[in-house]
Chain A
């Protein structure tokens, strides 16, 4: 992960608010333009009179939902605690302005969870808004009427899990849980409720790098599920117990461990000689370019991936901002590959 002071700048690039190849001047211009645009949209909802709002039920509904949710988003965080915290007003105003930016979507519960860490890092209304817009571009489908993004992700997750552990998949199916609905919250708001605020900052920036592969968050799901599989199957959990068990993992998962495990899974998949087409598409892996010189896979059957056996490739991406608290040089090397170079 990045050290905190770098986040404010780095996230603007990671989220795509600033293009990587832009010059300082271009960025300054862009920021100026975007500032004007933001305040123009903010003025739009600010200037709606009470009378007008009475005739605009959608705006009224959005506002009412936002007010309810701002009041209960991360209220134990310094940035949002207490009654008159300016952070709350910013959260509210940015979400209202987003309704003007995308009135069709407006506000759906869960979006305040996505904005809160971005605003916390940016400490600036305009930058936070545009970074949130970029993040929402990725997450938009999760919140749409048909929740297509959720459906797609659940199917993709099931495809990956089946390759990794078809036995576990069959077990889940036998318990009416094959659709993996118990992962709904993980996917809807990218684990926001499953990890501490600080861990989320780290986890999200890792995902935004799209390293080691795209849809890495789905491998994080697989890693967590693999860790829980034993207990779920040994205790013969049914539909109710599985959901309860998964819900209760919230704030108990070790972010380092799960990142390592997910990366291990990605390595295994990349080294798998006959990776199913569907899987390589999900992860954005070119099937043709499966490395022939890979040192893994010789003693692997290829078809049965089974339990991760930690077949790491050596990774040597230079990194400026490792937080340096990890033990074991090998592990550091592995994790650095996840941070933006």
Chain B
């Protein structure tokens, strides 16, 4: 049917693995291998149509360095999907992905769709993260694994399309589980469970973090 969905997707991962490049390639089909370091989260949107279902994606790009880790929750809360990016030539960046997986599962539970993305496959010759290891790990945590190259525009459309399909599925399952009728007020938080200290009646005040 002609339904429409709005999803929030957040990109996380170590500095300089190519998060901004992935988003810019996907949303604006641009590539610049000397893109400035992201120091503050930014936000891009993309509309797509999947089998008659309209999807509005809000994609959040974040700062990567460990030092800015504390800002993560501000941007990943209410997310329907997370794209955890590592650089296939950088073993450390893959370890950082594991930390993000743990944190997201703990904070957002199983309803967030996780994608683990090995970027920079144009540098295959310098690969330091084995395909086997990455894929096995992804499977073990209920995530899907993808390989991309923002530089050569490889695998990116597929990644987002696939993620959207999974988020639609999750949203529909979630809706059915709720027994249809309940039209939740905060539409953006469809399918996402925030940790349970949230009061029944959500008021406007208060703020994020440190509940």
A185 touches B40 (CB 8 A): yes
Complex interface: chain B residues within 8 A of A143 (CB): 67
A179 touches B207 (CB 8 A): yes
Complex interface: chain A residues within 8 A of B64 (CB): 109
- Choose the segment among A68-76, A207-215, A261-269 that binds chain B (4+ C-beta atoms closer than 8 Å): A68-76
Residue pairs across A and B with CB atoms within 8 Å: the count is 70
Total number of B residues with any Cβ neighbor in A under 8 Å: 27
Bound-complex Cα distance A71 to B40 (A): 19
Interface residues on A, range: 20 to 34
A247 touches B58 (CB 8 A): no
CB proximity of B151 to chain A, nearest CB, Å: 14
Which one of B64, B70, B74 has the greatest number of beta carbons of chain A within 10 Å?
B74
Taking CB as reference atom, which chain B residue is nearest A143?
B67
B71 touches A181 (CB 8 A): yes
Q: Which secondary structure dominates chain A's binding surface?
A: helix
Taking CB as reference atom, which chain B residue is nearest A186?
B40
Which one of B36, B42, B58, B92 has the greatest number of beta carbons of chain A within 10 Å?
B36
Q: Mark A152-195, 1 if CB is under 8 A from B, else 0.
A: 00000000000000000000011010110110110011000100
B58 touches A240 (CB 8 A): yes
Does B13 belong to the interface (CB within 8 Å)?
no
Does B35 belong to the interface (CB within 8 Å)?
yes
Taking CB as reference atom, which chain B residue is nearest A146?
B70
Complex interface: chain A residues within 8 A of B110 (CB): none
Bound-complex Cα distance A189 to B39 (A): 9
Instruction: Known A108-B67, A109-B67, A145-B67; judge A72-B207 contact (CB<8 A).
Output: no
CB proximity of A123 to chain B, nearest CB, Å: 23
CB proximity of B8 to chain A, nearest CB, Å: 8
Interface residues of B in 104-150 (CB under 8 A from A): none
Does A302 belong to the interface (CB within 8 Å)?
no
B15 touches A184 (CB 8 A): no
Complex interface: chain A residues within 8 A of B207 (CB): 173, 176, 178-179
* Chain A interfacial positions (CB closer than 8 Å to B): 61, 65, 68-69, 71-73, 75, 108-110, 112-113, 143, 145, 147, 173-174, 176, 178-179, 181-182, 184-185, 188-189, 193, 240, 243-244, 247
Other than A65-B15, A68-B16, A179-B207, give 10 A-B pairs with Cβ distance below 8 A. A69-B16, A72-B35, A72-B36, A75-B34, A109-B64, A174-B204, A179-B209, A182-B40, A193-B39, A240-B58
What would 17 A/B residue contacts be, using CB atoms closer than 8 Å?
A61-B92, A68-B37, A72-B37, A73-B36, A73-B37, A75-B34, A108-B67, A109-B63, A109-B64, A109-B67, A173-B205, A174-B205, A176-B206, A176-B207, A240-B43, A243-B43, A244-B42
3 shortest interchain CB distances as A-B pairs: A185-B40, A68-B16, A109-B65
